[in-house]
């Protein structure tokens, strides 16, 4: 297998160039997909036979929850890449992805709470999924706080990577224990997102929204990483030239 692309990806300059080319496409597809998905979900999907129209919240809640979890896993993967192959871009990715993941968790929690009101009659229910989401938010807070507390940026990236790896090992254990805890204390309540087979008009918007959210994540992550790369590489000639070009354009 040819690994040159992998090492090239580690070069900040190459990353900056290629990400600049991808960014417009990602942004456009994110905006389109989310718009189409939202319209389809809000207006065209049939109402749920049990929950009526409140089930339409699923089209944000589930993609956000999905993204929140996979972002955490990608933090750990980027962390491993950064620790093992000493790739600087991975270090940048760990710290820039964490806040986005935390925001996604917030969306999932808020929409879950709002959804809970018509479904369970309470804003917050200690449901296994919501509780696991809440713990995920705490895990994100830990990573963000650690990254901010360590002033040396290389140490900060490595420390966050280790914490993310420890956290990722913990996630399945947390999930299992929270599920068990739930059955121990309030056996067999029905969970909001567990559905019998959905008709196509119902799951298609969900699929579109999920892909849209992933594109959104990628676009925002690239935006954040590009700034950080410019900042970190401010001593190199290409970064200085790029900053000068940008200043000239905005002036």
Contacts to other proteins from residues 37-96, by CB under 8 A: 38, 42-47, 52-54, 56-57, 60-61, 64, 83
Nearer to other proteins by Cβ, of 1 and 18: the residue is 18
Binding-site member from 85, 180, 236, 238 for other proteins (CB under 8 A)? 180
β-sheet bridge partners, residue 52: 48
Contacts of 250 (CB under 8 A, 6+ apart): none
What is the C-alpha to C-alpha distance for residues 91 and 13, in angstroms, rounded to an integer?
15
Least distance from other proteins to the Cβ atom of residue 65, Å: 12
Please give the backbone phi and psi of residue 2, each rounded to the nearest 5 degrees, phi first.
-90, 120
What is the C-alpha to C-alpha distance for residues 146 and 150, in angstroms, rounded to an integer?
6
Residue 150 sits in the site that holds other proteins (CB under 8 A) = yes
Question: 69 near 107, Cβ under 8 Å?
Answer: no
Question: 233 near 12, Cβ under 8 Å?
Answer: yes
Nearer to other proteins by Cβ, of 47 and 189: the residue is 47
Least distance from other proteins to the Cβ atom of residue 242, Å: 10
**Taking CB under 8 A as the criterion, which residues in 181-220 touch other proteins?**
181, 184, 216, 220
Compose the 98-137 pattern: x for residues touching other proteins by CB under 8 A, - for all others: --x--x--xx--xx--xx-xx----------------x--
Q: What is the dihedral of CA 59, 64, 67, 68, to 10 degrees?
A: -160
Nearer to other proteins by Cβ, of 5 and 79: the residue is 79
Binding-site member from 21, 49, 149, 200 for other proteins (CB under 8 A)? 149
């Amino acid at each position: 297998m040819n690994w040159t692309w992998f090492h090239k990806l580690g070069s900040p300059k190459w990353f900056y160039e290629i990400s600049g080319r991808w960014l417009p496409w990602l942004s456009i597809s994110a905006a389109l997909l989310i718009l189409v998905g939202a319209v389809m979900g809000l207006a065209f999907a049939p109402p749920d036979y049990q929950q009526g129209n409140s089930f339409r919240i699923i089209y944000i809640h589930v993609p956000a929850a999905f993204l929140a979890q996979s972002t955490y896993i990608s933090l750990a993967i980027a962390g491993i890449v950064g620790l093992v192959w000493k790739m600087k871009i991975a270090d940048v990715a760990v710290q820039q992805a964490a806040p986005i993941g935390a925001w996604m968790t917030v969306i999932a929690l808020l929409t879950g709470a709002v959804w809970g009101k018509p479904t369970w009659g309470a804003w917050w229910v200690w449901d296994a999924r919501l509780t696991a989401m809440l713990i995920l938010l705490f895990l994100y807070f830990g990573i963000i706080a650690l990254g901010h507390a360590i002033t040396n940026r290389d140490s900060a990236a490595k420390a966050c990577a280790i914490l993310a790896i420890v956290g990722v090992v913990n996630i399945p254990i947390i999930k299992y224990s929270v599920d068990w805890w739930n059955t121990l204390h309030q056996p067999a309540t029905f969970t909001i997102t567990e559905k019998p087979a959905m008709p196509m008009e119902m799951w298609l918007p969900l699929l579109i929204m999920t892909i849209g959210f992933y594109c959104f994540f990628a676009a925002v992550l690239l935006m954040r990483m590009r700034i950080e790369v410019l900042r970190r590489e401010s001593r190199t000639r290409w970064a200085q030239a790029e900053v000068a070009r940008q200043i000239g354009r905005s002036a």
